[in-house]
């Protein structure tokens, strides 16, 4: 049984996350959620691995132009698909993954349609997705959040970095553990919007190598900020 201290810590962290959400909402407004067909969300998220949104979108647009439907894509050669996916980088690997993913979906649901996944329980659906090569924790959570509308919290590299800097996660925690921790902490009602807002903040302000600390919304909370480390002048 969890001790009162553990409950106090969880309550404190959830309150902190709500305040972070409210500050981001105040500055960026209510975000548009990238919702869509679960299979499209899955393929787009696979393409987004180790690249930026622009390159992902270029590759996905080429894919949609070249292959009129998912069946045509599945029947294409790996080489043909790999050439199509060049803008996204790691194109040979992603081509192999995507063909394997489509084969597993057809085996599971009898057709190239992932909407049946949304009828499964969240834990069952997550376990099934994670059993497919090329699908990790972030990709699986994105499908559940934005393809199925579940209140789950995907963690990408922007979110991992920001949560470490704000003291929400230990400095050396990896993405796998971050999902486990934050899934217990992030209030369900703000999970999807907070995901989008934190990514926007990570892209605009809390960057990996050159964060714009002068524009920081959380200078008192951030362990990276000069003020928190006593480097700021009086």
Q: Which residue has the tokens 């699986």?
A: 140
Sorted by sequence, the CB contacts under 8 Å of residue 208 that are 6+ apart come out as: 157, 161
The stretches of the chain forming alpha helices (DSSP H) are 4-28, 38-48, 53-66, 70-75, 78-84, 91-109, 122-130, 137-142, 157-165, 175-185, 191-204
Task: Quote the crossing angle between the two packed helices 4-28 and 175-185, to the nearest 10°.
Answer: 90
Write out the residue limits of the CATH 1.10.340.30 domain(s) in the chain.
38-147
3-state secondary structure 83-99: HHCHHHCCHHHHHHHHH
> Topology of domain 38-147, per CATH?
Endonuclease III; domain 1 (1.10.340)
Domain 4-30+153-215 bears CATH identifier 1.10.1670.10: yes
User: Each residue of 167-190: pLDDT tens digit?
Assistant: 999 999 999 999 999 999 999 999
What does DSSP assign to residue 167? T
Give residue 8's pLDDT band: very low, low, confident or very high (50, 70, 90): confident
User: Each residue of 45-84: pLDDT tens digit?
Assistant: 999 999 999 999 999 999 999 999 999 999 999 999 999 9
CA distance 11 to 217: 22
Selecting among 133, 138, 164, 172, the annotated active-site residue is 138
Write out the residue limits of the CATH 1.10.1670.10 domain(s) in the chain.
4-30+153-215
| 138 carries an active-site annotation | yes
User: Each residue of 85-124: pLDDT tens digit?
Assistant: 999 999 999 999 999 999 999 999 999 999 999 999 999 9
Instruction: Judge residue 1's burial from the number of C-beta atoms within 10 Å of its C-beta, 0-12 exposed, 13-18 middle, 19 or more buried.
Output: exposed
User: Each residue of 10-27: pLDDT tens digit?
Assistant: 889 999 999 999 999 999
Per-residue pLDDT at 207 exceeds 80 = yes
Closest Cα to residue 52, out of 89, 7, 14? 89
């Amino acid at each position: 049984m969890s001790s009162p201290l553990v409950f106090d810590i969880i309550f404190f962290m959830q309150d902190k996350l709500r305040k972070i959400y409210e500050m981001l909402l105040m500055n960026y407004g209510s975000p548009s959620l990238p919702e869509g067909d679960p299979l499209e969300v899955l393929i787009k998220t696979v393409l987004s691995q180790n690249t930026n949104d622009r390159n992902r979108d270029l590759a996905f647009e080429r894919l949609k132009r070249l292959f009129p439907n998912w069946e045509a894509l599945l029947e294409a050669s790996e080489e043909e698909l790999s050439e199509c996916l060049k803008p996204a980088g790691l194109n040979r690997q992603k081509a192999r993954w995507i063909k394997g993913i489509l084969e597993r979906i057809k085996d599971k649901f009898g057709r190239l349609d992932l909407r049946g996944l949304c009828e499964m329980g969240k834990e069952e659906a997550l376990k099934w997705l994670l059993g497919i090569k090329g699908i990790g924790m972030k990709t699986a959570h994105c499908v559940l959040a934005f393809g199925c509308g579940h209140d789950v919290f995907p963690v990408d590299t922007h979110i991992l970095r920001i949560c470490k800097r704000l003291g929400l996660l230990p400095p050396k925690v990896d993405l796998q553990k971050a999902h486990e921790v934050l899934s217990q902490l992030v209030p369900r009602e703000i999970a999807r919007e907070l995901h989008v807002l934190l990514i926007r903040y990570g892209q605009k302000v809390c960057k990996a190598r050159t964060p714009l600390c002068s524009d920081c919304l959380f200078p008192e909370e951030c362990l990276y900020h000069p003020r928190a480390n006593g480097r700021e002048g009086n």
